[in-house]
Structure 1
Amino acid sequence: MITPAQIALVHLAKKHLGWNEEMYRAVLYKLGGVESAKDLDQGGFALVMEYATSFGFRSDWTKRTYGKRPGMATPKQVDLIRDLWREWSGADDDAALNKWLDRHYKVAALRFATSEVASKAITGLRSMIQRRKRGKTAAGGP
């Protein structure tokens, strides 16, 4: 399933492109196999956004996730890494995330992460978060 922000982005594209309800529903069904944006999965969302982009819609989605690039981290991986980093660090700090990626995975920035590196980074961040949670539990924390 997609996030509320992604649903809002689909609706923004609809409005920006002037799609009537019939056109909007046809796009959702043809590209995502659904009748409502809230029922899209990540793949369907990416296809709808690519389609909207081809008609002139511009958003920061591809800028933020770097879009689909063969061999590189997928938009879903990029979003997950950012979410995990935010959970770990408590901040939405791309510079600190890039420094961590460089130190641990020899990748200068998230935009240069391959799919394999992204997978390792996701596993690493999840492990760091779990260790922190176990440490707080053992120390009698919440």
Structure 2
Amino acid sequence: MKMIEPVQIQLIHIAKKQLGLSDEEYRLAIGAQTKGKKRSSAGLTYFEADGLINYFRTLGFKIQSNYIRTRGQARRSRWQPINDRKRARQNPANVIMLPSRDQIEMINVLQKKIAWRYEDGYQRWLEKYIKIPRIKTAQQASDTIEGLKGLLAHQQ
């Protein structure tokens, strides 16, 4: 029998906290998953712990990873190899995707919502942070939208 892994114990305790379970409810859940044999997570086997975690998922527990908790360019750069493979299947190397009308409209709306210090503040921001003089591709538009969202959130 494979014993419980420390990561599983951590997940069980995180689930207990996230779901707001009392100690009695928590122990009843363990007992229900082990057919009344155990009342502590330390004594669970690997498969019993897996079943308990899956049960907590049905109650609404969501496993969150710190690894993916960023937005925009940072997230995309972490998954770049996967995205490159998907993009290679969709578009040949010599095809450039232009920004969509929706992306341009979103940029214009966000641009108007932000209080710029200078009249040409958006253009300065675009050159300084996105490092482009103007938006030419869908990827640049996506980066700009994510950046503007972050700037707007920071201003509010």
TM-score greater than 0.5 by the shorter chain: no
Higher relative contact order (CA 8 A, sep 6+): 2
| TM-score bin, normalised by smaller chain | 0.3 to 0.5
User: Which structure has the larger Rg?
Assistant: 2
User: Higher helix fraction: Structure 1 or Structure 2?
Assistant: 1
TM-score normalized with structure 1 length = 0.40
